[in-house]
């Protein structure tokens, strides 16, 4: 009657996250940065936080649909992970440093491309990465039946027979190691992994092109190119 331990833990975690949402904003406000810099940051900071919550809701809707369309998955990846992890923080920093509109737009495109590559790489590692490389259980995204870009791409590219097998795995509650291994093999057989790798390479190349023409000094250019390149590394 006093509720389950799991529910208690979830409720406590939500409250802790509320505190962190409050504290993050408070820390930026009390950072000691000039009022002028902060005023450049706030609209972008607010947009980022709103975008994250809306993206998370879209993710929730996608998950409820079983296997959503690849476009829907990529859209969520862009709004939720990519923008939050790379694009918006980059834009916020650049705006606070007084970059002009041209540079901001360019960094925005760079950040969007790198953010998407980062998310796609994360989706591959979530299925094929080793626990030692990712720090998460191997095949974790499959165990949790997460409809990531890789899963959606595999369903999209599979023929009818393989798609039937993929759907059955997606709808099976508890999967043992053999079932997870079979699922991974089926995904590779559809060509989805190769396709996602090509998408990553494409995003990283776009990001590098943006930086190549940018009116940014040499060390910063090198750091940004380096950051993009990290997404290409196939840790396994």
**Residues found near a second copy in the complex (CB under 8 A):** 1-3, 8, 11-12, 14-16, 18-19, 21-23, 25-26, 29, 35, 42, 46, 49-50, 53-54, 56-57, 60, 63-66, 145, 170-171, 173
Smallest distance from the beta carbon of 171 to a second copy, in angstroms? 6
Q: How far is the CB of 78 from a second copy (least distance, A)?
A: 18
- Nearer CB in complex with a second copy: 170/189: 170
Name 193's Cβ contacts closer than 8 Å, sequence gap at least 6.
124, 128, 150, 187
Of 54 and 236, the one with the shorter C-beta distance to a second copy is 54
CA distances from 149 to 41, 94, 107, 121 (A): 31, 30, 24, 10
Report the nearest approach of a second copy to the CB of residue 156 (Å): 19
Distances (CA, A) of 143 to 80, 159, 180, 181, 211: 22, 23, 7, 11, 38
Residue linked to tokens 């705006």: 95
Residue 173 or 213 having the CB closest to a second copy: 173
Smallest gap from Cβ 48 to a second copy, in A, equals 10
Shortest distance (Å) from residue 197 CB to a second copy: 29
Distance from the Cα of residue 17 to its chain's centroid:
19
Q: Which is nearer to a second copy, 63 or 75 (CB)?
A: 63
Q: In the complex with a second copy, which residue's Cβ is closer, 34 or 235?
A: 34
Direct distance between the N- and C-terminal alpha carbons of the chain, in angstroms, rounded to an integer: 45
CA 91-92-93 angle, to 5 degrees, is 90
Least Å distance between CB 11 and a second copy?
5
In this complex, which beta carbon is closest to a second copy, that of residue 6 or of residue 212? 6
Whether the Cβ atoms of residue 138 and residue 171 lie closer than 8 Å to each other: no
**Residue 79: how many CB atoms within 10 A of its CB?**
19
DSSP type of residue 173: S
């Amino acid at each position: 009657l006093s509720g389950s331990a799991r529910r208690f833990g979830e409720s406590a975690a939500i409250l802790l996250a509320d505190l962190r949402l409050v504290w993050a904003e408070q820390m930026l406000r009390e950072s000691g940065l000039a009022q002028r810099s902060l005023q450049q940051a706030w609209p972008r900071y607010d947009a980022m936080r709103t975008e994250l919550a809306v993206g998370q809701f879209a993710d929730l809707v996608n998950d409820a649909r079983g296997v959503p369309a690849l476009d829907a998955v990529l859209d969520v990846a862009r709004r939720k992970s990519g923008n939050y992890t790379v694009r918006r923080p980059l834009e916020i920093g650049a705006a606070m440093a007084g970059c002009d509109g041209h540079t901001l737009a360019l960094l925005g495109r760079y950040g969007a491309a790198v953010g998407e590559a980062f998310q796609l790489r994360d989706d591959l590692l979530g299925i094929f990465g080793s626990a030692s490389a990712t720090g998460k259980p191997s095949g974790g995204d499959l165990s949790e039946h997460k409809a990531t870009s890789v899963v959606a791409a595999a369903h999209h590219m599979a023929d009818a027979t393989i798609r039937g097998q993929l759907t059955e795995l997606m709808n099976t509650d508890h999967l043992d190691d053999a079932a997870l291994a079979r699922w991974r093999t089926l995904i590779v057989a559809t060509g989805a992994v190769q396709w996602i790798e090509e998408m990553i390479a494409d995003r990283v190349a776009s990001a590098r092109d943006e930086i190549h023409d940018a009116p940014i000094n040499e060390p910063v250019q090198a750091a940004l190119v380096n950051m993009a390149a990290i997404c290409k590394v196939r840790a396994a």
